[in-house]
Amino acid sequence: MFKKLFTVLVVLLFTATINMAQWDYAGAWPDTNYKGGTHGIAVSPDGKVFASTYYGSSWVSPDGDTLSGIASIYVFGADGSLIDIIGTVTTGEGFLTETDTLDGNCRGMGVDQDGNILYLQSGSNKMFKIDYMTLEGIAKTEPSETGSSPTAPSVDAAGNVFVGPVVGGGTNEISIYDTDLNYLGTAVQGPPNIARTLEVSADGNTIYWMPFTSNPIQTFIYSRPDEFSDYELTDSSLFSMSIESSAWDPVSGNLWVSNDSRGVDTNGVAIYTHLTWYEYDVATKALVDSFTLPSPDPEPSDEYPRGLDFSPDGQFAYVGLFGTGYDRIYKFDRLTGVAQELGFVADNYELSQNYPNPFNPTTTISFTIPEASDVTLKVYDMIGQEVATLVNSEMSAGKFNVSFDASNLASGTYVYELRAGKTVITNKMMLLK
């Protein structure tokens, strides 16, 4: 009885707290030509997207040599152009110069405090730091304290790098490295269960350890009062969420985490949606946003989210799945000026009168849709010319409020049109300047 009551309370809490902005699913990015086993995505300050795979493939070196089994790093410009494919990383100077091939399995990627790219591999455990502008190696280490395989890294504001063990327990640890990848010591000895990712707060004093095999599934929170103290397990959160990728939102500062079909409560009930990334406010412990990747049907066994990062302005999210049959990267665009009301159950399609009306120069348009639909909301002048597209996206059922700024339009009457599925509704509004 208690377990059932707990499940109901979790569902009610989730429904009451999530406040969804809207994200437009832009599909495979930059196109469908890149496939296979994503296990790391990182976005640099200039918008370049770095992605790598767990699985090796052939790679042609600048000298024309073909190497096999290389988990290359693909580097794309913000416009989707392929800039480079990195298969080797050279670090050190003079007689200490060393060139490594990326011949392991990518386990995760990250971005340091200066925007440089961190790349971790297993097989032979290695962590590289790569200059995001020149694409040249900066530093290298071979993490052994994390056991046979490291997780994706996380970096605090001072540049300290935190890496955990995929297989927790025993002597394996969450380790700390300085910005030059020198080992500083143990943060947490033997964190429990199996994990792919972790995150650390900007001040370095809180670690979010995200195993997906604990019972019950939960995120373990380790904290310390200051950098001179030890970490202790102080809290848990995000119960029943199977997390394999995570990132901090560059705008809100909130924590984004993924969920897949293994995220169930102790009764085997799925609380959250498969292949959905949720924005979590660590201060209030509330889920405040989300977006969902359309799932292939039937669902393969390796459909796990193992890549996530955001453009520097937070406008775009890039995600990836583990399986070899998937596109390497999928992209979502954050829609501005669109918000969904909490807890509203829509029974039919409605398009409300904008408010205020008449208006100058901004107004709000509200509409409801009873089921998930492809939605467009457009504004036309009185001779039928389109003057604005406010929404063009697949949207979930509910009530939505859309802000419209007509600063660049002349006074007059305008028509706004909602198209959702097979439904078309229009209304008029007046701009008075």
pLDDT digits (tens, 9 = 90+) for 12-68: 344 333 445 578 888 899 999 998 899 999 999 999 999 999 999 999 988 888 999
> Mean pLDDT over residues 393-401, rounded?
85
Query: What pLDDT is stored for residue 337 in this prediction?
Result: 81
Spatial distance between the Cα atoms of 75 and 133, rounded to a whole number of angstroms: 11
| Least confident among 112-126, 229-243, 351-365, 392-406 | 392-406
CATH topology of domain 19-340: Methylamine Dehydrogenase; Chain H (2.130.10)
Query: What pLDDT is stored for residue 302 in this prediction?
Result: 87
| Least confident among 36-40, 159-163, 383-387, 390-394 | 390-394
DSSP-assigned letters across all residues of 131-147: -TTT--EEEEE---TTT
Tell the burial category of 66 from Cβ atoms under 10 Å away from its Cβ (0-12, 13-18, 19+): exposed
Domain 350-431 listed as CATH 3.40.630.10: no
Percent of the chain beyond pLDDT 70? 94
Query: What pLDDT is stored for residue 370 in this prediction?
Result: 93
**Confidence band, pLDDT 50/70/90 cuts, at residue 289:** confident
Indicate the average pLDDT of the chain.
91
57-60/66-70 β-pairing: antiparallel
Tell the burial category of 260 from Cβ atoms under 10 Å away from its Cβ (0-12, 13-18, 19+): buried
Query: What pLDDT is stored for residue 354 in this prediction?
Result: 96
Using the CB atoms, write b or e for 353-389: b if 16+ within 10 Å: ebeeeebeeebbbebbbbeebebebbbeeeeeeeebe
Q: Domain extents for the chain?
A: 19-340, 350-431
- Give yes or no for residue 1 having a pLDDT over 60: no
Query: What pLDDT is stored for residue 242 in this prediction?
Result: 97
Spatial distance between the Cα atoms of 262 and 3, rounded to a whole number of angstroms: 18
More confident residue, 295 or 30: 30
Query: What pLDDT is stored for residue 3 in this prediction?
Result: 41
Ranges of beta strands (E only) in 77-130 are 82-86, 88-91, 98-101, 105-111, 117-122, 126-130
**Confidence band, pLDDT 50/70/90 cuts, at residue 193:** very high
- Give yes or no for residue 10 having a pLDDT over 60: no
Query: What pLDDT is stored for residue 26 in this prediction?
Result: 87
Spatial distance between the Cα atoms of 286 and 13, rounded to a whole number of angstroms: 9
**Confidence band, pLDDT 50/70/90 cuts, at residue 298:** low
Question: CB atoms < 10 A from the CB of 202, how many?
Answer: 13
pTM of the predicted structure, to 2 decimals: 0.82
- Residue 52 φ/ψ, nearest 5 degrees: -140, 175
**Confidence band, pLDDT 50/70/90 cuts, at residue 277:** very high
- Give yes or no for residue 268 having a pLDDT over 70: yes
More confident residue, 397 or 348: 348
Spatial distance between the Cα atoms of 366 and 353, rounded to a whole number of angstroms: 8
